């Protein structure tokens, strides 16, 4: 699949090459390396991974369910196994999309690019993602699936879409046009059951595993929480917690003891977080708040209990997870990217403010993990370099399990420091999304 053109490429050139030049480190990412990164971002991960919730079941239970589903529902059986280094993670190895040529059908469905990315990672097509469906389409018709890359398809299109589109795969119609585009209709449910995709990722329903037993989660997100290493009976905070995937993993490792606090700043996200924690039987105190403002100012300081909620007293938490809001440029596959340079640059000031709060909340000898799902230097290695200069109390430490690669050149980090951070990208053992995390201890 071709990677998006300008401004997508311009954004990365600005954030990778220009950033390193501005830091005057004498080394920049070559154009050849940049093209390699871009192509990797627009390709498909070769595996899917389920994190098993050991509060409710054991990994073998989920492994057996996945194998049974694949045997009964899929024509081609993928390899399914427990990850060799992560006992609570099950990986599904995709078939090689180049092994067979997918035959296209005359009938077609047009979907948006977000939906297309989800389909290429194993999702079926839910009603809100459908933009166009040919007039006369019937239930159980075989259709080819295309993504509208330029947002030129009008909602409810009834004829062939002749503008630029990318072939995604094939599927079977499960909802008719009037259910999708009728007046005063708010469509829900699976509109097209996906049968095959160009990514080779098997279509995975979300109802063959009992609620709360496991969830699809990228491996770097699992490793990020393992780096935090939360222990039973500790006091831990997840500062930007929704949708709750990492939060529930923390609760699992704490065995639902101690105190786990989760924060997000909008009511919708808090509801999503509450639902995920309830589904996974995770005991969490959840608050709607802006994590930039959840520590008591020094001039107003009076020691208070963490259970009283935000704002919290300084040095209240044994461990802090800051999975920061970011430009999300590590998403794979990227079919289109409409972020501007200014939008990307706007994240660094927010991340720094959140980081300052995280350091204030952390106890001495406590652990802070900073993570993003983007690949820019400014939001990753740049943030680590800034933090080490600003906070003398912080020590960068190597995680207990390293499956990613070292940090990129282009900031003031030394070679030794770059080896201590974890960056996930091309040519690494873990073939997943673009991701970054760094682990600090407060001296």
Q: Counting Cβ atoms within 10 Å, is residue 229 exposed (0-12), middle (13-18) or buried (19+)?
A: middle
From the list 70, 373, 393, 439, the catalytic residue is: 373
DSSP alpha helices (H): ranges in 15-132? Answer: 19-22, 31-41, 59-73, 113-119
**What are the structure tokens assigned to 98, written together?**
């180049």
Q: Measuring CA to CA, which residue among 360, 408, 412, 370 is closest to residue 389? A: 412
- Phi, psi at 230, each rounded to 5°: -65, 140
308 contact partners, CB below 8 Å, separation of at least 6: none
d(CA 400, CA 320): 16
Over its C-alpha atoms, the chain yields an Rg (Å, rounded) of: 23
333 contact partners, CB below 8 Å, separation of at least 6: 1, 41, 42, 43, 44, 117, 120, 199
d(CA 5, CA 239): 35
Let me know: does 304 contact 313? Beta carbons within 8 Å. Answer: yes
Kindly give the pairing relationship between strand 362-372 and strand 394-397: unpaired
**What are the structure tokens assigned to 442, written together?**
């407060």
Active site residue 373: yes
d(CA 197, CA 145): 9
d(CA 334, CA 327): 13
Kindly give the pairing relationship between strand 435-442 and strand 422-424: antiparallel
Give the CA distances from residue 86 to residues 81, 251, 298, 427, 437, in Å, rounded to whole numbers and listed in that order.
11, 17, 42, 20, 18
Query: Looking at the annotation, which residues are catalytic?
Result: 373
């Amino acid at each position: 699949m071709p990677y998006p053109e300008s401004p997508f490429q311009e954004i990365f050139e600005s954030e990778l090459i220009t950033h390193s030049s501005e830091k005057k480190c004498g080394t920049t990412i070559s154009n050849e390396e940049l093209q390699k990164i871009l192509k990797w971002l627009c390709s498909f991960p070769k595996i899917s991974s389920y994190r098993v919730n050991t509060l409710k079941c054991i990994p073998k239970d989920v492994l057996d369910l996945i194998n049974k589903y694949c045997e009964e529902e899929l024509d081609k059986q993928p390899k399914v196994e427990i990850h060799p280094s992560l006992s609570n993670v099950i990986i599904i190895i995709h078939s090689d999309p180049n092994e067979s040529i997918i035959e296209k059908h005359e009938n077609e469905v047009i979907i948006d690019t977000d939906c297309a990315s989800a389909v290429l990672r194993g999702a079926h097509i839910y009603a809100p993602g459908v933009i166009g469906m040919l007039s006369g389409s019937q239930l159980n018709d075989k259709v080819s699936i295309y993504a509208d890359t330029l947002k030129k398809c009008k909602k409810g299109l009834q004829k062939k879409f002749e503008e630029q589109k990318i072939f995604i795969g094939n599927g079977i119609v499960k909802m008719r046009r009037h259910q999708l585009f009728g007046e005063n209709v708010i469509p829900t449910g699976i509109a097209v059951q996906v049968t095959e995709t160009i990514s080779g990722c098997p279509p995975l329903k979300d109802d063959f595993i009992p609620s709360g037993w496991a969830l699809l989660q990228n491996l770097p997100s699992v490793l990020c929480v393992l780096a935090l290493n939360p222990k039973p009976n500790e006091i831990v905070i997840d500062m930007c917690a929704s949708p709750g995937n990492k939060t529930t993993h923390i609760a699992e490792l704490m065995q639902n003891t101690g105190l786990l606090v989760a924060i997000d700043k909008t009511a919708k996200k808090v509801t999503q977080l509450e639902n995920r924690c309830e589904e996974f039987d995770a005991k969490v105190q959840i608050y709607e708040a802006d994590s930039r403002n959840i520590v008591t100012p020094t001039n107003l300081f009076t020691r208070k209990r963490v259970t009283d909620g935000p704002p919290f007293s300084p040095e209240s938490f044994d461990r802090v997870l800051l999975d920061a809001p970011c430009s999300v440029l590590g998403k794979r596959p990227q079919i289109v990217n409409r972020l501007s340079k200014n939008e990307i640059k706007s994240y660094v000031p927010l991340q720094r403010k959140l980081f300052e709060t995280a350091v204030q909340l952390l106890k001495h000898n406590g652990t802070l993990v900073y993570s993003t799902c983007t690949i820019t230097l400014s939001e990753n290695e740049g943030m680590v370099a800034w933090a080490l200069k600003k906070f003398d109390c912080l020590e960068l430490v190597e995680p207990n399990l390293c499956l990613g690669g070292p940090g990129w050149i282009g900031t003031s980090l030394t070679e030794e420091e770059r080896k201590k951070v974890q960056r996930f990208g091309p040519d690494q053992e873990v073939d997943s999304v673009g991701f970054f995390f760094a682990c600090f201890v407060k001296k």
